[in-house]
Amino acid sequence: KAGVTQTPRYLIKTRGQQVTLSCSPISGHRSVSWYQQTPGQGLQFLFEYFSETQRNKGNFPGRFSGRQFSNSRSEMNVSTLELGDSALYLCASGPGQGQGEQYFGPGTRLTVT
Amino acid sequence: GDSVTQMEGPVTLSEEAFLTINCTYTATGYPSLFWYVQYPGEGLQLLLKATKADDKGSNKGFEATYRKETTSFHLEKGSVQVSDSAVYFCALSDPSGGYNKLIFGAGTRLAVHP
């Protein structure tokens, strides 16, 4: 089975712009979660989608949003970028209800200048 | 709220040494526990897991036992290799709500020298 794929792998944006990141989960997985990884804050949960519905959200401002499509692919959007949004954004997919086991993609490295 | 605490790194070992990375957790429910590993420039790989008390997860020579009485999930390996050099993350999820939200520790960097 192919693993979780994320595009693009690297991105450079300017403050105030917006960005969209994409994630394709492992075939058959219906849960997709997003995490932000920074040296200062570590790994933080952003949100989880299951069957096109957001069912859990972390403590991030409304500038961070996401969605999931009927084929389980997911996108994450960040509007009005700030320097502090520079991070590695990781997508993870899981088999479904309540197991907690998740498989991560390689991440998208976002740099905001 | 739920949280995970890991020993600070870096941990520096010689090849074939014994490895222990401590992990303790705080949770209101009955969490599942995980160890993930991150190699430079890559995402996280699931190393092992345990879903209930006294379970032992194991993979690639690594093992960890879910200890409810001490709220711990320490990672061990009997003989490390240079290729084990990476950052190791302990994590928990509370499946009672049916959600897949992982809470991570800060990570422990391991450096193994020949």
Q: Do A35 and B99 touch (CB under 8 A)?
A: no
Spatial CA neighbour of B100 closest among A76, A46, A31:
A31
What separation in angstroms does the CA of B38 have from each of A47, A62, A106? 21, 29, 10
Say what the pLDDT of residue A24 is: 98
Say what the pLDDT of residue A95 is: 80
**pLDDT confidence of A99, banded at 50, 70, 90?**
low
Mutation target vs A (from B23, B37, B100; most A CBs, 10 A cutoff): B100
Say what the pLDDT of residue A48 is: 92
Identify the three-state secondary structure at position A81: coil
∠ CA A41-A109-A73, nearest 5°, is: 100
- The yes-or-no verdict on residue B102 having pLDDT over 70 is yes
- The yes-or-no verdict on residue A98 having pLDDT over 70 is no
Please state the separation of Cα B27 from the chain's center in Å.
16
- The yes-or-no verdict on residue B97 having pLDDT over 70 is no
- Which token pair is A28? 């058959």
Mean pLDDT of chain A: 93
Size of interface A-B (CB pairs under 8 A): 73
Task: Using CA coordinates, name the residue in chain B closest to A35.
Answer: B102
- pLDDT of B28-87, one tens digit each? 888 999 999 999 888 999 999 999 999 999 999 999 999 999 999 999 999 999 999 999
What separation in angstroms does the CA of B32 have from each of A19, B65, B93? 33, 12, 5
Indicate the residue of B44, B51, B92 with minimum beta-carbon distance to A104. B44
Average pLDDT for residues A91-104, to the nearest whole number?
82
